[in-house]
Amino acid sequence: MDRNENLKFVGDPDQVWDLAVIGGGASGLGVALDGLSRGLKVLLLEKADFAKGTSSRSTKLVHGGVRYLAQGEIGLVLEALKERGRLLRNAPHLTENQPFIIPVYSVFDRWKYSLGLKIYDWMAGSLRLGKSRFISKEETINRLPAVKRDGLRGGIVYHDGQFDDARLAVMIALTCNEMGGCILNYARVNKLTKNEKRKIDGLVFRDLINRRNYRVKARSVINATGVFADKILKMDHPDAEKMIQPSQGVHLVLDRAFLGGKDALMIPQTSDGRVLFAVPWQGKLVVGTTDTLRKKPKLEPRPLASEIDFILDTAGQFLLQKPTREDVLSVFAGLRPLAAPKEGSTKTKEISRSHKVLVSDSNLITLTGGKWTTFRKMGEDTVDKHFSLHKLKNTGSRSADLKLHGHTNQAPEGHMRVYGSDAQKVLDLQKECPDLAKPLHPDYPYTRGEVIWAVREEMAQRVEDFLSRRIRILLLDACAAMAMAEEVAELMAAELGKDKTWIASELEEFNKLAKKYLID
């Protein structure tokens, strides 16, 4: 994926895109993928890096949503379960079947959760990942060695999917690129252009790397910017009503020993009526999440002390060893783009997680809501809107069975698995130059060669791109990420043709960012 080559496409003044997608997270990438599956000309513009915001800060679950079932959102769960099955099939190198265990401390809970999960199994149909079942106290302790044992009666096992969200975003971007799409990060949209009928006919964006402006023409402009959707709506119409209510979700990363075993823990009811997950992921334990209304969207939201305490306290009620602030390796926060609630309502639980596709008077198409699991279906519905809006013959979506870049059922074990079929190419690069096989940190397997690969093949432009989203070390261990930063900056500078000033600037910015992932 060559960024400079893609810029040449947007330099052609006669090029008219069918879709110009604003936003390079789950929503925008889903739109681009589906549009390209139908043979449309697609341009995607992301103002930062792919999945820089919410889309790299999920609980790492590809799931139907057990808690949505309890809230009666049957349609959403059915849709998500179907998409869950497709995603595990289309990206086996980035997804896996993850068993979850709900610890049971009362007879009532055993039957309540057993019944709910049997319905969940039934709804998944042929795409079911495994059968839910009750297990004994002994088996529960064997599978979750660090679970609280006082009053434990057993556990209920059920299955959902797990994935690497930011790596999935990169692989979708690569897939779109190979299908003929023009995919660009660090491309900030500054203006929407309109024809004499006041209908949108394109946009103006700035390439933030080379500091040059581009004007492009498009039949449809898609606003898929998540929590920043209101900014684009205001760009279209200054008096546009607020549509998005950001809701913050925080996750803590701990040593895997706090739970033990390979199974995930699901706490079905916390003190505020939500659910909490403790999920083994990339050698660590991700614990979360919260659901806190925030006033304004931010690219780097900060967790509140109350959210951190809530997660630690709740997890501590179900674990033998109660985690403390000193045990947290990294903390990250993401903002969900929920629909703005009705006047007077402040309960995020009452706001639907379903996605919506809306069209303004100027024909700006806006996609809001949704979640990673249903990214493809969100894209399909948005592209359908493009065809109906312009009264075009709908060619029908072909994205459901698209195998994503790197697809393989023989992905290597360990951290190289996320590269899929590209893993051997990364290893070959390291064989050609043995110096590139050296690890970036004594405690982690990531190599110098992966930095080079990320720059050459995955459009990494900044130190943060690599350490946060090409590998996930910033989220896994913020201190280790800071220790790697200087070597990564030097390797990237050599590859990108940058000087020492760039290195110094990158290190200053990255270290400032990384400190936000540490608890004070």
> 107-124 and 74-90 helices cross at what angle (nearest 10)?
60
More confident residue, 395 or 440: 440
At residue 353, does pLDDT exceed 70? Answer: no
Hey, CA dihedral for 368, 371, 377, 383, is it positive or negative? positive
Residue with tokens 């799409």: 181
d(CA 183, CA 180): 9
Residues of the chain with CATH 3.30.9.10: 71-162+245-349
Report whether 253 contacts 323 (CB < 8 A).
no
Q: What is the mean pLDDT of residues 302-327?
A: 96
Topology annotation, domain 414-517: Helicase, Ruva Protein; domain 3 (1.10.8)
Report whether 245 contacts 293 (CB < 8 A).
yes
Residues of the chain with CATH 1.10.8.870: 414-517
Residue 348: the pLDDT is: 52
d(CA 127, CA 388): 31
Per DSSP (E only), the strands in 304-416 are 330-339, 356-359, 365-368
At residue 254, does pLDDT exceed 70? Answer: yes
Burial letters for 468-484: b for 16+ Cβ neighbours within 10 Å, e otherwise?
bbbbbbbbbbbebbbbb
Report whether 283 contacts 330 (CB < 8 A).
no
Chain centroid, CA 440 distance in Å: 25
CATH of 71-162+245-349, one of 3.40.50.10800, 3.40.50.10190, 3.40.50.720, 3.30.9.10: 3.30.9.10
Most confident of 77-81, 127-131, 170-174: 170-174
**Long-range contacts formed by 496-501: CB under 8 A, 24+ apart:** 496/455, 496/461
Residues of the chain with CATH 3.50.50.60: 3-54+166-242+352-389
Residue 319: the pLDDT is: 95
d(CA 283, CA 252): 14
**Helices (DSSP H) in 214-373: which residue ranges?**
229-236, 305-316
Superfamily holding 3-54+166-242+352-389: FAD/NAD(P)-binding domain (3.50.50.60)
Q: Are strands 16-22 and 42-45 parallel, antiparallel or unpaired?
A: parallel
Q: What is the CA radius of gyration of the chain?
A: 23
Could you give the count of Cα atoms lying within 13 Å of 449 in the half-sphere of its Cβ? 20
Mean pLDDT of the chain: 94
At 78, which amino acid appears? Answer: L
The tens digit of pLDDT for each residue in 32-73 reads: 999 999 999 999 999 999 999 999 999 999 998 887 777 778
The tens digit of pLDDT for each residue in 155-166 reads: 999 999 999 999
Lowest-pLDDT range, 232-236, 292-296, 505-509? 292-296
Helix-, strand-, coil-residue percentages of the chain, each rounded to 5: 40, 25, 35
The tens digit of pLDDT for each residue in 87-123 reads: 999 999 999 999 999 999 999 999 999 999 999 999 9
Residue 350: the pLDDT is: 47
Q: Global pTM?
A: 0.96
